[in-house]
């Protein structure tokens, strides 16, 4: 965590004009601690209450997640904020039941689903590589696999097969996603969220490589008013830390940052 005075100064532009500011948060590893099975992840109740308070004070509050937008909303449990899902290809506006999906992504849904079916081999299952169906994207998790080297060998073969099938593999923290062959990243999702808005200042908080695109997207929207926060951990990518304005110490550091925003 940055020294208290430095963090307070960094966030001062947001607190001075909350109605004109945007706050963007990754979920897993940022608001929710990383767990062995992604389906078991939970937002701590104190963090959820902080988000509710922030939504009442700041102009735009959103979660930008690799999870489907509907799943992200169910996990966070707050309907008054926006959700950018599946790394930017879905948008679920506050209070809406309708997910807006990038139609270029939707056009490849059958290809991705068929690839997932082929990739879920007995070898993958024996290596404890778990398949997650995220709709337009599929993910292969190996966190907690008893033989990580065997699991990585499976993951590397899936990467090769995905490229041969014309799809796009992308690694995160002990997860491999297979995506359609169209541009997908959190920066594009931020741009979609902000398409009719022009905040003077903004914050993005994330813990993985995909959040570097979120940093870029926020900086493109608000320029020098962008504050990009990396969540530090033993698994935090070095390039994320280098791209950030400041690094906080794990999800506890994020909670401290939320308290600072509510001062």
Are 91 and 142 members of one domain?
no
Instruction: Please report, in tens digits, the pLDDT of each residue of the chain (263 residues total).
Output: 444 557 888 999 999 999 999 999 999 999 999 888 777 889 999 999 999 999 999 999 999 999 999 999 999 999 999 999 999 999 999 999 999 988 888 889 899 999 999 999 999 999 999 999 888 889 999 999 999 999 999 999 999 999 999 999 999 889 999 999 998 899 999 998 998 888 999 999 999 999 999 999 999 999 999 999 999 999 899 999 999 999 999 999 999 999 999 98
Are 113 and 90 members of one domain?
no
Are 175 and 221 members of one domain?
no
Q: What are the tokens at 109?
A: 């849904």
Residue 59, domain extent: 4-102+184-261
Quick one: which H or E segment has residue 90?
strand 90-92
Rg over alpha carbons for the chain, rounded to the nearest Å, is 18
CA distance 242 to 256: 21
Q: What are the tokens at 171?
A: 């690694």
pLDDT recorded at residue 108? 92
Are 112 and 238 members of one domain?
no
Number of domains in the chain: 2
Are 64 and 131 members of one domain?
no
Are 85 and 123 members of one domain?
no
Are 209 and 137 members of one domain?
no
CATH number of the domain where residue 37 is located: 3.40.50.1000
* Domain closes at, from 157, 179, 201: 179
Are 16 and 68 members of one domain?
yes
Residue among 190, 158, 173, 3 nearest 85 (CA): 190
pTM of the entire structure? 0.82
Are 26 and 116 members of one domain?
no
Are 11 and 88 members of one domain?
yes
Are 144 and 232 members of one domain?
no
Q: What are the tokens at 137?
A: 């994207």
CATH number of the domain where residue 150 is located: 3.30.70.1020
């Amino acid at each position: 965590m940055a020294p208290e005075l430095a963090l307070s100064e960094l966030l001062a532009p947001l607190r001075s004009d909350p109605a004109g500011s945007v706050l963007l948060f990754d979920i897993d590893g940022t608001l929710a601690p990383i767990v062995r099975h992604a389906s078991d992840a939970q937002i701590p109740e104190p963090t959820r209450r902080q988000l509710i308070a922030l939504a009442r004070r700041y102009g735009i509050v959103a979660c930008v997640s690799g999870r489907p937008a509907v799943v992200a909303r169910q996990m966070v449990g707050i309907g008054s904020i926006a959700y950018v899902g599946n790394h930017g290809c879905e948008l679920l506006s506050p209070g809406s039941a309708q997910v807006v999906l990038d139609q270029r992504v939707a056009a490849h849904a059958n290809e991705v689903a068929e690839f997932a079916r082929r990739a879920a081999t007995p070898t993958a299952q024996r290596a404890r590589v778990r398949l997650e169906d995220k709709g337009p994207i599929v993910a292969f998790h190996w966190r907690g696999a008893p033989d990580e080297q065997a699991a990585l060998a499976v993951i590397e073969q899936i990467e090769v097969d995905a490229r041969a099938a014309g799809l796009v593999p992308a690694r995160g923290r002990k997860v491999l996603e297979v995506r359609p062959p169209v541009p997908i990243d959190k920066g594009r999702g931020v741009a979609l969220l902000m398409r009719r808005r022009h905040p003077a200042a903004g914050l993005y908080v994330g813990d993985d490589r995909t959040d570097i695109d979120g940093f870029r997207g926020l900086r493109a929207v608000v320029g020098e008013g962008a504050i990009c926060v990396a969540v530090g951990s033993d698994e935090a990518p070095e390039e994320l830390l280098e791209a950030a304005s400041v690094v906080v110490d794990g999800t506890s550091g994020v909670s401290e940052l939320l308290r600072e925003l509510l001062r």
